Amino acid sequence: MQLRIQEISGNDNVAGPCQHKPVDERCLSCILDSSDYFSTLSLEVKRALQEFLQFKSFNRRALLYREGRASENLFILLSGEVKVYKSLPNGRLQIHKLTVIPGDLIACEDLFLDKYSSSAEAISPVNVCFLPKAHLQKIISRHPEIPDTLMRSMARNLNSYIRHIANLGQKNALERVASYLLFLHETHHERNLRSEVLRESLTRTELADMIGVTQRTLIRSLKKLESDKVVALSRDGFVILDQKALEYLGAGG
């Protein structure tokens, strides 16, 4: 059965459930109405996009798409967490993006490429809606406001990647770990958590690859943060004990 998304009301451009789908396959509301990228689009444009939206679920560790394969779809995250990565010649993976916020786009940077430049893998059970590129490009030709939305997404992804590269090049291991924990806090489904666990879906190996350190260095940095009572480690993730100290470290202090 389709994922049920919290109903949104009070705006003239709210598209609501996909009217062309059977009732038992409709979400309570449409991700287009709550996504930062699509919520301000006109009702006409949302209806045009809804006509080709398709729902799909992925199990943990399933690939949404693979690097080098034909680039066919734009994905919109409904729930779950997705890592986007490139395969390196030495067999390791370089994770350059985590998509965790409902409404965020996956594979937007490959929209105008013939092949996917990265791979995307579900790191928890994932639900998405996706738009086949062939249909999306036809809609774009009729509605020029859509490319503006997609360009904002691409710019956000580029800025995120630039910050990631800056973290790798300018910060030591402890500062990189602090930056990641702040990211985890900022993108968690509940904001301003106090003495509650920030759930972590990446393995220690994946996290070490993402921030560009060895697994041993990562563990040593986490233990340092724990001994300084900046964070507490739990089986499922992390608990931030001193956010100001974490922000200071994350800024390269």
pLDDT digits 0-9 by tens, 45-80: 999 999 999 999 999 999 999 999 999 999 999 999
pTM beyond 0.85: the answer is: no
Both tokens assigned to 120: 């995307």
Task: Output the pLDDT for position 100.
Answer: 84
Task: Please check whether residue 86 is in contact with residue 165, taking contact to mean a CB–CB distance below 8 angstroms.
Answer: no
DSSP 4: P
pLDDT confidence of 187, banded at 50, 70, 90?
low
Interval 217-232 mean pLDDT: 92
DSSP conformational letter for 95:
E
Domains of the chain: 23-166 (2.60.120.10), 171-250 (1.10.10.10)
Q: How many residues are present in the chain? A: 253
- Give pLDDT, residue 15: 85
Write the burial class of residue 143 (CB in 10 Å: 0-12 exposed, 13-18 middle, 19+ buried): middle
For the chain, state the CA radius of gyration. 19
Sign of CA dihedral 35, 40, 43, 47: negative
Edge-to-edge strand order for the sheet containing 237-240? 198-199, 237-240, 231-233
Tokens of 8: 């949104």
